[in-house]
Structure 1
Amino acid sequence: MPTYDYRCPSNGEVIEVRHSMDEQLTTWGELCQAAERDLGDTPADAPVERLLSAASVLSSGARTETEQPACCSPEGMCGCR
């Protein structure tokens, strides 16, 4: 199953989840359920957006929108293959 990064504009968090290619998560509640995490202070109906990315490496937890995946250099150059 592929992995996808989703960003929540309401809180700035980016979360990586696995789901089928035909599924699309649209709210923070759906994303938190798929990632098996608590909503925190963000409303369940807050919209999320799927980020465009190359093949992902599954990592644990969440990262802020300023953090880069492990395969990216500090300069922002991505070495994922």
Structure 2
Amino acid sequence: MPTYDYRCDTNGRVLEVSHRMSDRLSTWGELCARTGQETGDTPAEAPVHRLATGGNIISSTSRGSGAAPLPACASGNCCQGGMCGLN
């Protein structure tokens, strides 16, 4: 299941939760119930918003256990933005 970050405007907290893509959480109470957190002093009906955050990319092709490893970046570091062409 995909993982999403939700932010509560009332308390400013961000919680991470896994759920189906079709699910939408809209209140702090729903979010806390899914994550096992206490609502605390924040009203359960306080609105939450799903954040546009990066996530894991799942490829439709997979590399089996016998596949050759990908070559390392020539710089020895991760090239931000795929500058080395190995992304």
Please give the alpha-carbon distance, in whole angstroms, between the structure 2 residues aligned to 1:49 and 1:37: 17
How far did residue 23 of structure 1 move?
0.1
- Distance (Å, rounded) in 2 between the aligned partners of 1:49 and 1:27: 8
Instruction: For 2:53 and 2:25, locate their aligned partners in 1 and report how far apart those are by CA, in whole Å.
Output: 16
- Determine the structure 2 residue equivalent to 1:10: 10
Aligned residues: 59
Paired position in structure 2 for 1:47: 47
One-letter code aligned to 1:9: D
Question: Matched residues in 1 for 2:32 and 2:39: separation?
Answer: 6
Identity over the aligned pairs, expressed in percent? 56
Cα RMSD for the two superposed structures: 2.0
Aligned partners of 1:36, 1:18: CA distance in 2, in Å? 12
Tell me the alpha carbon deviations over residues 20-57 of structure 1, each in whole angstroms, 9 at most, x when there is no partner: 0000000000000010111000000000000001115x
TM-score by length of 2: 0.63
Between the aligned partners of 2:12 and 2:35, the Cα distance in structure 1 is 16
Distance in 1, matches of 2:31 and 2:47, equals 10
Letter in 2 for 1:12: G
Greater relative contact order: 1 or 2 (C-alpha under 8 angstroms, separation 6 or more)?
Answer: 1
Unaligned ranges ≥5, structure 2: 57-79, 82-86
Matches within 5 A, 1:1-81: 1-55=1-55
